[in-house]
Structure 1
Amino acid sequence: MIISSIAAASLALIGGFLSAPGLVDKNINQVYPATSAPPSSQAQTLHRSLWIADLHADSLLWQRKLGEKGNGHLDLPRMAQGNVALQAFSAVTKTPRKMNINRNDGDSDNITTLVMAQGLPPATWNSLLARATYQAQQLHQLAGDSQGTLRVIGSRAQLRSFIAARDKNQHLMAGWLTLEGAHALEGKLGNLDVLYRAGYRMAAPTHFFDTELSGSQHGMQKGGLTPLGRDWLRAMEQRKMIVDLAHASSATIDEVLRLAKRPVMVSHTGVRGTCANGRNLGDAQLKRIAAQGGLVGIGFWNTAVCGKDVQAIARAIKYTVALIGVEHVAYGSDFDGAVTTAIDVAGLPRLTQALLDAGLSPAQIRRIAGENVRDFLLKNLPDDDA
């Protein structure tokens, strides 16, 4: 959810251009001060036994050294501290200035300033597709430099292999590539194959503005799928790529659910039942997504959960579990999405404690914390090795 403060921070950064490449990241990917006691020994023991997966982090955008502990919400050392097995790394390629959850056009772009200020290759300055492929290369490079600690997952076979390896070595981690808004296709459906070859296995049709494919919940028109969008949906399903409905307009959600032959995800969202705003999903939408076998990732930031602590996240999760069933609920943190979150990835044991305090059972927490994502991907990723 790259918020409008990125524009001001980017302008400050570009004033010094390459002299302070971490300024934007440090200023807007922050954590609220903890207000609760540290996790109990019971919660810590349970947490260490979990298979944890998160559906959304924008960490690749910031050109941070993710192999080292640093700014923001997520890096490999803190993923290890949080006992994360599988992390979705989402590529952000364009966001409008003065961004808000109600109404945006696509006539401006914060990310151009950011990629130039961070010294990315010139090909990324004007091409959204190049930005997406560059971020994919960054994740593959991170895995290559990790001495086997991190793997990139692109198929069911690779995921099965990783699960077996992690059963023997809990220090192993994996990432998979997702796309925040299919405007990175640059209006050409053939570019979906470029993104697939780069490793992307999930994509949303929109982010914060209406695209050639569909309306955004935050766009000007908020329409449904366009003819190109309907072709995109068929092409995604042919490749067994997962459709993400985060940020999609109500009309787009309705149309995708009517046409889709495979389950969908909503990678990072809140629910109006605990936090009533236009960013979040209503009860009827949640029920339809679940009825078709879908999965909903609950976010960790204030707009998603109407609170600044892990108790607010737990409240949203508990509500969603009661409404659609535990098997359809997951974590969708939005780490490093230019938001302030209740915890960073190392703070996940605090969320385990909050879920216990909210009355969820250890078996339910296991499903929510990652087993639902693991099993969904085992059914819905492509069969072949990527």
Structure 2
Amino acid sequence: MSRLLKILIGILVLLAIAAIIAFAVLPAAVERSQNKTLDHETYVISDEAAAIQDSLRLADLHTDTMLWKRDFLKRGERGHVDLPRLQDSNSAVQVFAAVTKSPSGLNYEENTAESDDLDLLVKVQLWAPRTWNSLLERAVYQSEKLHHFAEDSDGALRVVRTAAEFDAALSAGALAGILATEGAHPLEGDIANLDRLWTAGYRIIGLQHFFDNALGGSLHGVTNAGLTDFGQEAVRAIEEKGLIIDLAHSSEAVVEDVLAISNAPLIVSHTGLKGACDTPRNIRDELMVEIARRGGLIGIGYWDAAVCDVSPDGIAQSIRYAADLLGVEHVAYGSDYDGAVTVIMDSGERAALTDALLAQGFTPREIRLIAGENVIRFMRENLPE
């Protein structure tokens, strides 16, 4: 064998090793750096809290789990959410949001749409090539992932599209998975693409994420603008289609504009309340009050920018504030698990939150409402027939 050939073989071997590292090791390393759970002592739960926890049908309005490369059906050593951990908390309903674009240098004050950290992530995770240059295809791909998990779950997970499918999943004791978009930029500026999202199973449409888009301003964008003409057209089309609108990450001007033209109950899937935690992530309380007054639902998050104090007691304090301000029937969980956030309890440890809600003076009935029954009622009333 010639020396040159040996060198070429050596280079190929090094390239192969680099590829293995990139495609097998990097996805896990990236997720570990993004979806952190702080070290903590094992939570000690009162007997009363344990009994209430056993009676729950827990529901969560927001997780970004389908973005990451791991088996949702197996108990994981990274991230916040998988089916076994959801079962540990008696979860009955989980909304799975599709993240399709994430600007570099992500922050809560100002982001542009010029960069996208997901461009590299989707390739390293070996997503289908059709997703490399299309936000719509990224949303469709995440829907396909969830459907494949459901098919392989032996009935433990069902992707639901209608109120009847929702009730059937709950009756069977399966986890009801509902698909949502993290921002409406997968429409790619074309209302006709709403049909594609509908066919893929999406039933909740978030309007913005961390940057201004064709529909209007983000709470973390550069313009603070309201709905564009396209945004107004999109909101009307979303409602006519029977989809639920999510105002998480929308600018306050967009929220005001949606409230001016919308006739349907709205959600803010993952957030905090400004009066409880004054950060750029939370919109002013008056808008939350109006959303609740119209039959909407507010999902309280578990990370610092939403609740300031991420301990179970801190989250419970924000929930107490929300319930007192909005009414207990309008408050839910909206963890933002697997959303590049740091938490102190994963999806299997939420008995600690039940215990903390008891300490805040909530009754067992109120805890059941907040932990799941409010979401179950809302979905029964607002998913299409």
TM range (shorter): over 0.9
Q: Does 1:247 align with 2:249?
A: yes
Q: How does 1:73-152 map to 2 (within 5 A)?
A: 73-152=80-159
Q: Does 1:53 align with 2:59?
A: yes
Cα distance in 1 for residues equivalent to 2:258 and 2:198: 21
Secondary structure of 2:222 counterpart: coil
Q: Answer yes or no: is the 8 Å Cα contact 2:273–2:306 preserved in 1.
A: yes
Give the match for residue 333 of structure 1.
335
Give the match for residue 32 of structure 2.
26
Amino acid at match of 1:126: N
Amino acid at match of 1:65: D
Give the match for residue 160 of structure 2.
153
Q: Does 1:229 align with 2:228?
A: no
Quote the offset at 1:335 in angstroms: 0.4
Quote the offset at 1:263 in angstroms: 0.6
Secondary structure of 1:297 counterpart: strand
Quote the offset at 1:359 in angstroms: 1.0
Q: Answer yes or no: is the 8 Å Cα contact 2:57–2:372 preserved in 1.
A: yes
Amino acid at match of 1:131: R
Rg larger in structure:
2
Amino acid at match of 1:205: L
Quote the offset at 1:164 in angstroms: 2.2
Cα distance in 2 for residues equivalent to 1:15 and 1:286: 48
Amino acid at match of 2:213: T
Q: Answer yes or no: is the 8 Å Cα contact 1:242–1:381 preserved in 2.
A: yes
Quote the offset at 1:310 in angstroms: 0.8
Amino acid at match of 2:50: Q
Aligned residue among 41, 44, 47 for 1:38: 44
Per-residue CA deviations over 1:313-371 (Å, capped at 9, x if unaligned) read 10100000000100000000000001111211001101000100111111110100010
Give the match for residue 169 of structure 1.
none
Q: Answer yes or no: is the 8 Å Cα contact 2:170–2:176 preserved in 1.
A: no
What is the percent sequence identity of the aligned residues?
A: 45
Cα distance in 2 for residues equivalent to 1:346 and 1:147: 21
Amino acid at match of 2:52: L
Compare 29-38 and 72-81 and name the one that shifted more: 29-38
Give the match for residue 7 of structure 1.
none
Cα distance in 2 for residues equivalent to 1:234 and 1:301: 32
Quote the offset at 1:78 in angstroms: 0.6
Give the match for residue 307 of structure 2.
305
Give the match for residue 22 of structure 2.
17
Cα distance in 2 for residues equivalent to 1:281 and 1:347: 28
Cα distance in 2 for residues equivalent to 1:279 and 1:14: 38
Q: Answer yes or no: is the 8 Å Cα contact 1:32–1:308 preserved in 2.
A: no
TM-score normalized by the length of structure 1 = 0.93
Quote the offset at 1:254 in angstroms: 0.4
Q: Answer yes or no: is the 8 Å Cα contact 1:32–1:309 preserved in 2.
A: no
Per-residue CA deviations over 1:239-291 (Å, capped at 9, x if unaligned) read 11000000000000001011101010000001111110121132201111111
Compare 353-362 and 32-41 and name the one that shifted more: 32-41
Quote the offset at 1:34 in angstroms: 2.9
Cα distance in 2 for residues equivalent to 1:107 and 1:222: 17
Amino acid at match of 1:100: N
Cα distance in 1 for residues equivalent to 2:172 and 2:88: 19
Q: Does 1:349 align with 2:351?
A: yes
Secondary structure of 1:126 counterpart: coil
Amino acid at match of 1:191: N
Compare 335-344 and 27-36 and name the one that shifted more: 27-36
Amino acid at match of 1:104: N
Give the match for residue 8 of structure 2.
none
Secondary structure of 2:298 counterpart: strand
Per-residue CA deviations over 1:68-114 (Å, capped at 9, x if unaligned) read 11110000111111110010000000011011101111000011111
TM-score normalized by the length of structure 2 = 0.93
Q: Answer yes or no: is the 8 Å Cα contact 1:34–1:309 preserved in 2.
A: no
Quote the offset at 1:35 in angstroms: 5.6
Per-residue CA deviations over 1:164-201 (Å, capped at 9, x if unaligned) read 222xxxxx212110000101111111001000000000
Quote the offset at 1:308 in angstroms: 2.7
Following TM superposition, the consecutive aligned residue runs of length 4 or more in structure 1 with deviations greater than 4 angstroms are: none
Cα distance in 1 for residues equivalent to 2:20 and 2:42: 39
Quote the offset at 1:33 in angstroms: 2.6
Secondary structure of 1:246 counterpart: coil
Amino acid at match of 1:375: R
> Which blocks of at least 5 consecutive residues in structure 1 are unaligned?
1-12, 167-171
Amino acid at match of 1:42: E
Describe the shift of the 1:343–1:14 C-alpha distance in structure 2 as closer, same or farther (beyond 3 A).
farther
Q: Answer yes or no: is the 8 Å Cα contact 1:208–1:218 preserved in 2.
A: yes
Amino acid at match of 2:149: L
Amino acid at match of 2:133: N
Quote the offset at 1:135 in angstroms: 0.2
Amino acid at match of 1:132: A
Amino acid at match of 1:239: K
Cα distance in 1 for residues equivalent to 2:301 and 2:310: 11
Quote the offset at 1:222 in angstroms: 1.2
Cα distance in 2 for residues equivalent to 1:358 and 1:242: 31
